[in-house]
Amino acid sequence: MSWLAHLLRRDLRLALRQGMDSLMVVAFFVIAVVLFPFGVGPGVNTLARIAAGVIWVAALLASMLALERLFQADYEDGSLELLALAPVPLELITLAKVAAHWLTTGLPLIAAAPLLALVLFLPTEGLWMLVAALALGTPTLSLVGAVGAALVLGSRRGGVLLSLLVLPLYIPVLIFGVGAVNQVMLGESAQPHLMILGGFLLGALALCPWASAAALRQALE
Amino acid sequence: MSVFAGSHLTCIRGERAVFAALDFAVDAGGALVLVGPNGSGKSSLLRLMAGLLRPAAGLLTWNGDTLDDEPDVHRGRLHYVGHLDAVKPVLTVLENVAFWAGLRGQRDADGAARQALDAFGVGRLADVPARFLSAGQKRRVTLARIAAAPAPLWLLDEPTTALDAAAVGLLRDAIARHRAGGGLVVVSTHAELGLDDAATLSLDDFAAGGAR
């Protein structure tokens, strides 16, 4: 399994040296959320009610931003070909790349979320549930997104196509992610929602690496 | 019996048959040079040998076993050099080469990478970020990549692109060392590489339908 760490280290190193991608994702996330108090007015009750939904939708869109680059750079410079020829299953290589993608884009989003929740006057109990739901939901987004990113590889205007492909698949995560926060705010247990989010994650973990690898092989033909 | 062989290979790219009923065989320590005009299918044949493409018909075998049975094993025994250099501009030269060596299970990846870089005359660039390299230097780094981790089969697609005469000589030496150890080389080239007792395969002889 040492090569898994090896691959992860390389992708993290690339992301850190280039730096801009993660920073842009978080900056987009913050700006998109901060627009809402200007748009709907500074009323505390209104903002608190829509906070979870706004933050989740902004997180979905932000995580889409870096998705296009997930395989594109490796595809263009020939690295992807060599990765596909490595004596390691392409499925696991995909998984390592998705993990690196989540660590460099998903994790910063989760870190920024509490601050934005405060901006939107989300009560404390909702805030922690939001962080928990994002922690369970964003890896699913990265996994599902990787399938889309692999499918649009080599096509012109892949970015737009990618959002059309992937955003509809994000809807279940959005529903249950926002649902978990709303449940807590109503004083109910959010456990069922979290368990469903966990189920999505396990399902995506089992299916998406295979689908992505198949799409990558197709792109390399 | 030949170690690496193909029989009756047919390759179809975008509805057009590139070549048909192609046979080849390479022995241990052998070299096969692919020649033919642009578009005659040299690259396609190499990608087919690497397993990046599937033949429309025909069979590839290694020591008599079909490759389809164990694609993972085949990937482990080959090095492929394509048109692209796969050199990451933000990583240093050493990091680039050591990554690929490590991915192929080379224990001391850094040491092997340094040695390979020296062999291709770019050892002193080891700690330079790859974005400062010229096209020829990048090509040398790519060739150092395949020298850094052992694999019995080298598939080289136009390896001499952008190389100067000195580097072509280094490549010739590396191929000779590889073959002396029982390694196989299949190389497509327009330039004369001057490999000792290499077999030549002219792709033109297998052009599908003969029309070109």
| For range B90-117, the mean pLDDT | 91
Question: Residue B192's pLDDT is what?
Answer: 78
Residue B207 carries which DSSP code? B
Domain count, chain A: 1
What is the rounded distance in angstroms from the CA atom of residue B55 to the CA atom of residue A216? 18
Residue of B nearest to A85 (CA): B75
pLDDT band at B64 (very low <50, low <70, confident <90, very high): confident
pLDDT band at B209 (very low <50, low <70, confident <90, very high): low
- Domain segments of chain B: what residues? 83-151
Q: State pLDDT tens for residues A133-148.
A: 999 999 999 999 999 9
| For range B145-150, the mean pLDDT | 92
Domain span at residue A88? 2-220
Closest CA relative to residue B4, chosen from B114, B155, B127: B155
Those of residues 125-154 in B touching chain A at CB distance below 8 A are none
What is the rounded distance in angstroms from the CA atom of residue B100 to the CA atom of residue B107? 12
User: Which stretches of chain A score pLDDT less than 70?
Assistant: 1
What is the rounded distance in angstroms from the CA atom of residue A212 to the CA atom of residue B52? 16
Contact list, B88 vs chain A (CB under 8 Å): 14, 77, 79
Pairing of strands B57-62, B153-157: unpaired
Question: Residue A202's pLDDT is what?
Answer: 97
Q: State pLDDT tens for residues A165-176.
A: 999 999 999 999
Those of residues 188-207 in B touching chain A at CB distance below 8 A are none
Share of chain A above pLDDT 90, in %: 79
ipTM of the complex: 0.89
Share of chain B above pLDDT 90, in %: 59
Closest CA relative to residue A122, chosen from A190, A181, A203: A181
CB contact under 8 A, B52 and A84: yes
Q: Which of A3, A7, A85 sits opposite B80 (nearest CB)?
A: A85
pLDDT band at B210 (very low <50, low <70, confident <90, very high): very low
Statement: residue B125 has pLDDT above 80: yes
